[in-house]
Structure 1
Amino acid sequence: MTDRTWTPRTRTEIAARVAEDIPEGWYVNLGIGVPTLVADRVPEGREVIFHAENGILGIGPAPEPGALDRWLINAGKQHVTLLPGGAYFHHADSFSMIRGRHIDLCVLGAYEVSRDGDLANWARSETDTAPAVGGAMDLAIGARQVWVAMEHVTRDGRPRLVERCGYPLTSPACVRRIYTDLAVIDVTSRGFELRDMVEGMTFEALQARTGAPLLLPQPA
């Protein structure tokens, strides 16, 4: 038996919640995992220009079954579509866009985020099989804003939002906002500041699943 009165967001619902907050006209890079679903959830009538670090600008929704171009893939090796006006180009030019801070937002997955905004999303130990941090480190410091989309806790119930990351860092102090299956939380100079949470969730229940103090927003 459980007295839980709330239902976690699905991966698709997390992506939709992220997409809801992306402003008109932003250039956005999407990381692997939940972030890849964001491109399909942008509100109708809003223009968001999606970028992939392997050299694509103007990514559209996922292709319909049987209508994919096998040569058109994103950096996560997923088939994508190209909207009218879109383009593809050398990956060196793509990384120049990132390093030149021409990308408004990057949405990444994560293993952990610290209360200072440190990001750990490429390896779970010093001996992990991941070959290298890859382009995530460029995106973490090159995008004007970094948001994270992930589950609030691990499969065994350990918090992913922590005082200090226990996994190797991708970049320090880069995350500005976190979208989980339970809540939306800003990373501020005060620490983790709650924006909203799923219907039925209580502040106390959310705090119990968070490895660092949660703060309520300051009055405007």
Structure 2
Amino acid sequence: MARLVAQDIAPGSYVNLGIGQPTLVSDYLPADSGIVLHTENGMLGMGPAAVGDEVDPDLINAGKVPVTELPGAAYFHHADSFAMMRGGHLDVCVLGAFQVAANGDLANWHTGAPDAIPAVGGAMDLATGAKDVYVMMTLFGKDGSPKLVPRCTYPLTGLGCVSRVYTDHGVFLLAGGEVRVRETYGITVTELQERLDVRLVSGPAAPC
């Protein structure tokens, strides 16, 4: 999934990678892509995850994972970082999710369970401030329930903000309340439709 997301980000984009699976995207970005990674804790120009002697405990991303810096990297106050997020300066953010609705609604900070620990972080700011929101998630929960749904039942992070969903079973494009299947992995669209309550549309999108 991370490789696919990396391939779909336009060269020269400013991008925020959410905590968890999305952080893996940095490992697949071409060095000459001109893509600049932003972190909520105040950094532009983040490189791939740090390994071995590269690890610096003072150089971490928002998920506290040691990272590297690229030439020209800059550091700034947390408030300035959020101003970038809220001000529409990010082209893409990549987030995890508990649920995504067919209309692009996102639920990724709380399941509503009494014993669940809320973890909103900067997700609401990213969901409303980024020009494009991509989600990386498994298509089904551990209990087999779909996470791509007609309507989110968990507390919402953002309304109508998700444009693409990358999953272990396929990639889905969301627009105008329509869920279009771009590609599938190890399963047919018909088989997916039998397991999902959202109506799937296959084939290329109509020309604008």
Specify the TM-score bucket, using the shorter chain as the normaliser. Answer: over 0.9
Higher relative contact order (CA 8 A, sep 6+): 1
Normalised to the residue count of structure 2, the TM-score between the two structures is 0.94
Q: Output aligned runs, 1:79-118, within 5 Å.
A: 79-118=66-105
The runs of 5 or more residues in structure 2 that have no matched partner are none
CA deviation string 1:182-211 (max 9, x = no partner): 11111111421111112x421111212323
Aligned to 1:155: 142
Alpha-carbon distance in structure 1 between the residues aligned to 2:148 and 2:80: 34
CA deviation string 1:60-95 (max 9, x = no partner): 011121321110111111111110001111011111
CA contact (8 A) 2:109 2:118 kept: no
Q: Which amino acid aligns with 1:24?
A: P
CA deviation string 1:143-176 (max 9, x = no partner): 1110100111111211100001111111111101
Aligned to 1:174: 161
SS of match in other structure, 2:127? helix
Which is further off, 89-98 or 39-48?
39-48
Alpha-carbon distance in structure 2 between the residues aligned to 1:128 and 1:117: 27
Alpha-carbon distance in structure 2 between the residues aligned to 1:84 and 1:166: 44
Aligned to 1:203: 189
CA RMSD of aligned residues (A): 1.4
Alpha-carbon distance in structure 2 between the residues aligned to 1:49 and 1:85: 10
CA contact (8 A) 1:160 1:211 kept: no
CA contact (8 A) 1:153 1:209 kept: no
Q: Which amino acid aligns with 1:211?
A: D
SS of match in other structure, 2:24? helix
Alpha-carbon distance in structure 2 between the residues aligned to 1:80 and 1:44: 15
Normalised to the residue count of structure 1, the TM-score between the two structures is 0.89
Aligned to 1:215: 201
Moved over 6 A (4+): none
CA contact (8 A) 2:101 2:148 kept: yes
CA contact (8 A) 1:68 1:80 kept: yes
SS of match in other structure, 1:39? helix
Alpha-carbon distance in structure 2 between the residues aligned to 1:84 and 1:203: 44
The 3 A distance-change label for structure 1 pair 171 and 69 is same
Aligned residues: 206
Aligned to 1:23: 10
Alpha-carbon distance in structure 2 between the residues aligned to 1:119 and 1:149: 12
Alpha-carbon distance in structure 2 between the residues aligned to 1:64 and 1:126: 36
- Counterpart pick for 1:146 among 133, 140, 145: 133
CA contact (8 A) 2:104 2:177 kept: no
Alpha-carbon distance in structure 2 between the residues aligned to 1:98 and 1:195: 28
Q: Which amino acid aligns with 1:187?
A: L
SS of match in other structure, 1:177? strand
Q: Output aligned runs, 1:61-80, within 5 Å.
A: 61-80=48-67
Query: Percent sequence identity over matched residues?
Result: 52
Which is further off, 124-133 or 14-23?
124-133
Aligned to 1:33: 20
**How big is the shift at 1:23?**
0.6
The 3 A distance-change label for structure 1 pair 104 and 209 is same
